[in-house]
Each structure stands twice: as C-alpha cells, then as structure tokens.
Amino acid sequence: MKVTILGSGSSGNSILVESSTTRLLIDAGFSGRDLERRLAAVGRDADSIDALLVTHEHSDHTRGIGVFARRWGTPLYLGDRTRIACRHLLSGTEEIRSYSCAHPVVLGGLRIEPFLTVHDAVDPFAVAVSELETGEKLGIATDLGRPNVAVRHALRECDLLVLESNHDEILLRESIYPWSVKLRIAGSHGHLSNRAAAELVSTIYHPELGGVVLAHLSEQANDPFLAEDAVGIKLERLGFRGELLVGRQHEPLEPIDVSRLKRRVAPEQLSLL
C-alpha cells in the first residue's frame, strides 16, 4: 500500500491511498484545480482516482468534492447525514455511494472501515484502510475532539498512522483566534493538541508500528517542530523504530510505501541486532 498526504492542516486535507489495483482519495479539502495540481506533483492523474471518500462536511475536507467528482466522474462515498450537509457542493449529477459504520466499503483492493469520532460535525468518521492482498493497515484519525474507545480500538495494529496533532496548547492560548474559536478548538468536540496526540500514540503503540504522520496541524497555533517533539519523545521512550513525519499544508509529502515501513520494523530484523 502507498499513502500520500496531498496536503494536511486546518486549511485543507486530502490523502491518496493506493493498492496495486485501486486509488482512493480520502477527503478533498482543496479546490478541484489545486487537488489536480497536487496529484500531478506526485505523478498521478486525476482521472485515475477510483473513488473519493469524505469523512465529514467541514470545508477543509470537502471544498473540492463536487467539482472533482463531476469533472472526473469519480464516485463519492458519503455518510447519509454528511451528504445532506454537503448539498451546497453537489449538483445532483454526481455518483453518490452511501457508507456508514454498519456498511464498510470494499473498493477494489482496499477495505475501508469507518468509525465514529467525537467532533463538531453531523456524522464525523475516521477510517482504517486495509489492503486486501497484503493485509497492510493504515489508520487515519484527524478531527478528534478527544479519542474515544472506538478510535483506540480501530487504530490497533496499524502499520501506518495518520494522526491529528493540531495545536500546541500555549500557542493556541496566545494565538489571534477569538476566545470562542480557541474554546471550540480545545474543547471535547474540537481538535487534538500535540500533548493529546502523544498520549493517544502511547495507548495504541505496538512494536511493529512502521510509521506515524502527524496531521491537521494549525498554522496559527502550532509549529511542526513542537508537534514532532511532543510525539517523538513519547515514541522514542516506547522503543519506536519506524518513521515519524509531519504533513504539510501547502505541498504533498512524498508517497509513503507501507511495505518498506513494515520491513524496517519487522521482528526478524530486530533479532539480528
């Protein structure tokens, strides 16, 4: 499985997940044109995308869904309540497919299991994506007010985690946001701080975890070095041997090869050292 963070942060989010036969976009929080530019930057054509799955209706996850789906004939997977909340972005001509916790999605070589999160959206999902051929597992959990039992359960035994590390608590307090926004972000239905992300990592860590990508960083209330420090220190104490990366708002990261990460932390390798 290959995973490419096309962009991540409070202003827009989109992740490309690929098996050998299937290309899935998760969220499209950029304009249609920007999304095409980001795909081209990592050598992928927009018309090669098999489906676009939307986690929740916030604009940093949905800005380009309608334009992209119509231009490229891409099927859109939406929760029922999210579809209603996104109707201003849709013309009615898109191919809409419904999904829910009770109805996971199997799309070509990928199985997508949604799980409900605590966030101020109508029906917010995080997802675990498994590649059927290899069994490789990716967990994507951003836009978490606080990690609930479902989140911890769904993220067990992932090979790669894309995890929210939205804000530094002091930078958020000192930021230019109005108090109402600060309270929303820090509240139980808002976003995870670096400290909370580090705590979550420590509860779902396992020795074969190959990589962690810190995601959905706030440009106003975070610094990539602070996020990396907070989570990195915790991972180091746990004996983490994988890669720690930080998603970027304005440009994609290089595609991440999950098989390579797995080889890096494989038990056979450990026994040789």
Binding segment (CB under 5 A) for Zn ion, from list 70-78, 143-151, 180-188, 227-235: 143-151
Q: Please, what is the minimum distance in Å from the beta carbon of residue 9 to Zn ion?
A: 9
DSSP-assigned letters across all residues of 111-175: EEEEEE-BSSSSS-EEEEEEETTT--EEEEE-S-SB--HHHHHHTTT-SEEEEE--B-HHHHHHS
Binding segment (CB under 5 A) for Zn ion, from list 80-88, 103-111, 136-144, 257-265: 136-144
Q: Please, what is the minimum distance in Å from the beta carbon of residue 166 to Zn ion?
A: 8
Place of tokens 């992928």: 44
β-bridge partners, 235: none
- In the complex with Zn ion, the residue whose CB is nearer, 119 or 262, is 119
Q: Is 136 in the site for Zn ion (CB under 5 A)?
A: no
Q: Site residues for Zn ion, window 156-195 (CB under 5 A)?
A: none
* Residue 71 φ/ψ, nearest 5 degrees: -65, -35
- In the complex with Zn ion, the residue whose CB is nearer, 77 or 240, is 77
Q: Is 123 in the site for Zn ion (CB under 5 A)?
A: no
- In the complex with Zn ion, the residue whose CB is nearer, 38 or 58, is 58
Q: Please, what is the minimum distance in Å from the beta carbon of residue 217 to Zn ion?
A: 11
Q: How many residues does the chain have?
A: 273
Cα→Cα distances 95→15, 22, 51, 69, 70, Å: 20, 18, 10, 8, 9
Binding segment (CB under 5 A) for Zn ion, from list 140-148, 149-157, 200-208, 264-272: 140-148
204: three-class secondary structure by DSSP:
helix
β-bridge partners, 130: 111, 137
Q: Site residues for Zn ion, window 191-230 (CB under 5 A)?
A: none
Q: Is 143 in the site for Zn ion (CB under 5 A)?
A: yes
Place of tokens 């069994």: 135
- In the complex with Zn ion, the residue whose CB is nearer, 62 or 130, is 62
Sign of CA dihedral 44, 45, 50, 56: positive
Q: Please, what is the minimum distance in Å from the beta carbon of residue 1 to Zn ion?
A: 23
- In the complex with Zn ion, the residue whose CB is nearer, 213 or 261, is 213
Alpha carbon distance 132, 140 (integer Å)? 17
Site string for Zn ion, 41-70 (x = CB under 5 A): -----------------x-x----------
- The residue with its CB nearest to Zn ion is 58
List residues binding Zn ion (CB under 5 A): 58, 60, 143
